[in-house]
């Protein structure tokens, strides 16, 4: 049983690391695996320590190559909420719940990271209602890419794991 659980964690960690590494590949703005990784980790990694450590470690690893930026703390905050969203659906992983979780994650990421941009980007000075509205308005075109990236990566991660459970018996949770 313990050996089976270790193998499951390795498979999930491998999927998460591979998804995080796709951040290093040239891609359209905001098409990213970040939220999908968070939701996947929350839904499938039962040990809460690993559910936080594996995806955050993978993100930190890719950020070492991409660089950190003023909004990074807000990205990680949204990422943490995404893990919680995944945790909420873990006993009910069905297509419609995964899609709703992905859309909720996209919206949370949009709200939190753009608020962070408003706080940290000198372009939005002075910090007032008008600059906040301008920040969110300018971000709307990128929101489509966020949704597209989240849905795509959630499909790949959850689909890959479901296929692994089907074809690799050691991955399946013993009921």
More confident residue, 88 or 24: 88
- Residue 158 has a pLDDT of 94
Q: Is 6 inside any structural domain?
A: yes
What's the mean pLDDT when you consider all of the chain? 88
User: What is the rounded distance in angstroms from the CA atom of residue 120 to the CA atom of residue 131?
Assistant: 12
- Residue 170 has a pLDDT of 75
Q: Is 8 inside any structural domain?
A: yes
If phi over 0 gives left and psi between -120 and 50 gives alpha, with beta otherwise, what is residue 159?
Answer: alpha
CB crowding 65-83: b at 16 or more within 10 Å, else e: eeeeeebbebbbbbbbbbb
CB–CB of 34/75 below 8 Å?
Answer: yes
User: What is the rounded distance in angstroms from the CA atom of residue 130 to the CA atom of residue 62?
Assistant: 35
Q: What is the CATH number for 160?
A: 1.10.1760
Q: Look at the block and give the residue holding tokens 């905050």.
A: 77
Which of 24-28, 95-99, 141-145 is predicted least confidently?
Answer: 24-28
Confidence of residue 175 (pLDDT cuts 50, 70, 90): very low
- Domains in the chain: how many in total? 1
- For residue 114 the two structure tokens come to 């753009």
Q: Is 105 inside any structural domain?
A: yes
- Residue 1 has a pLDDT of 47
Answer yes or no: is pLDDT of 2 > 70: no
144-173 pLDDT, tens digit per residue, is 999 999 999 999 999 988 898 888 877 776
Contacts within 8 Å (CB) and 24+ apart, 60-69 = 61/17, 61/20, 62/20, 62/21, 62/23, 62/24, 65/24, 66/23, 66/24
99-148 pLDDT, tens digit per residue, is 999 999 999 999 999 999 999 999 999 999 999 999 999 999 999 999 99
User: What is the rounded distance in angstroms from the CA atom of residue 38 to the CA atom of residue 6?
Assistant: 20
User: What is the rounded distance in angstroms from the CA atom of residue 24 to the CA atom of residue 61?
Assistant: 11
- For residue 127 the two structure tokens come to 């910090």
For residue 122, give its domain range. Answer: 2-170
- Residue 174 has a pLDDT of 56
Q: Is 102 inside any structural domain?
A: yes
Q: Is 175 inside any structural domain?
A: no
């Amino acid at each position: 049983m313990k050996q089976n659980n270790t193998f499951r964690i390795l498979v999930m960690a491998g999927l998460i690391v591979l998804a995080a590494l796709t951040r290093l590949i040239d891609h359209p703005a905001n098409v990213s695996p970040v939220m999908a990784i968070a939701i996947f980790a929350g839904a499938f990694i039962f040990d809460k320590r690993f559910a936080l450590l594996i995806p955050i470690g993978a993100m930190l690893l890719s950020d070492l190559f991409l660089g950190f930026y003023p909004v990074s703390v807000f990205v990680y905050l949204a990422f943490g909420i995404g893990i919680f969203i995944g945790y909420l659906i873990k006993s009910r992983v069905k297509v419609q719940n995964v899609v709703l979780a992905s859309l909720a994650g996209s919206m949370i990421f949009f709200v939190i990271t753009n608020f962070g941009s408003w706080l940290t980007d000198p372009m939005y000075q002075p910090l007032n209602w008008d600059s906040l509205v301008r920040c969110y308005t300018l971000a709307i075109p990128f929101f489509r890419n966020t949704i597209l990236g989240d849905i795509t990566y959630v499909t790949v991660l959850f689909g890959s794991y479901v296929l692994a459970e089907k074809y690799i018996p050691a991955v399946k949770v013993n009921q």
